[in-house]
């Protein structure tokens, strides 16, 4: 074996180890700060003068796999986006309902604000089976007349081994 090949083979394990290391790897989910709704609360008295809307957002916290008896759990991210570049959006309620229409959780106790172009997320953990495959959010909101409507979507995702599933769903204004 020539000298160059010997050196390469000797250095190969170190090169492989270094190539797998990532100095700027993203933080895990456990390190992501949770939304503190209390910090966003507002008691704006002019809320009554704003235009009101209600958006229905479909959520699939589980989907059927192979048969109707096997439910595959999913992590859900409900994304609420203020699409205005100049006006604040106010959320007055964000209620999570299960497949049967029963209220599972009220995410807001007082109105909260989203600054122009700001986004907030509500995450339903994969282990949370309270909603079921037909769960949903009803989000009530207010904004200045003439402002664009907020955009509300859900992203559902799960992985198992090397298999993964992900899809999105978009909210629909119902009021």
What's the pLDDT tens digit per position in 75-107?
A: 999 999 999 999 999 999 999 999 999 999 999
pTM of the model: 0.78
pLDDT tens digit sequence for 24-71: 444 444 555 567 877 888 876 577 789 999 999 999 999 888 898 888
Question: Concatenated DSSP letters for 69-131?
Answer: EEEEE-EEEEEEE---SS--EEEEEEEEE-TTS-EEEE--SS-EEE-TT-EEEEEE-TT--SS
């Amino acid at each position: 074996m020539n000298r160059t090949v010997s050196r390469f083979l000797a250095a190969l394990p170190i090169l492989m180890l270094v190539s797998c290391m990532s100095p700027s790897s993203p933080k895990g989910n456990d390190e992501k700060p949770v939304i503190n709704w209390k910090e966003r609360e507002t008691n704006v008295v002019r809320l009554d003068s704003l235009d009101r809307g209600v958006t229905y957002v479909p959520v699939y916290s589980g989907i059927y796999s192979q048969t109707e008896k096997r439910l595959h759990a999913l992590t859900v991210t409900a994304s609420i986006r203020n699409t205005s570049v100049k006006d604040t959006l106010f959320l007055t309620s964000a209620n999570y309902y299960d497949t049967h229409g029963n209220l599972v959780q009220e995410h807001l106790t007082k109105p909260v604000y989203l600054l122009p172009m700001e986004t907030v997320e509500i995450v339903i953990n994969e282990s949370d089976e309270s909603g079921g495959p037909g769960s949903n959010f009803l989000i009530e909101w207010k904004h200045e007349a003439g402002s664009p409507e907020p955009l509300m979507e859900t992203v559902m995702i799960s992985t198992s081994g090397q298999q993964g599933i992900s899809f999105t769903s978009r909210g629909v204004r119902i009021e």
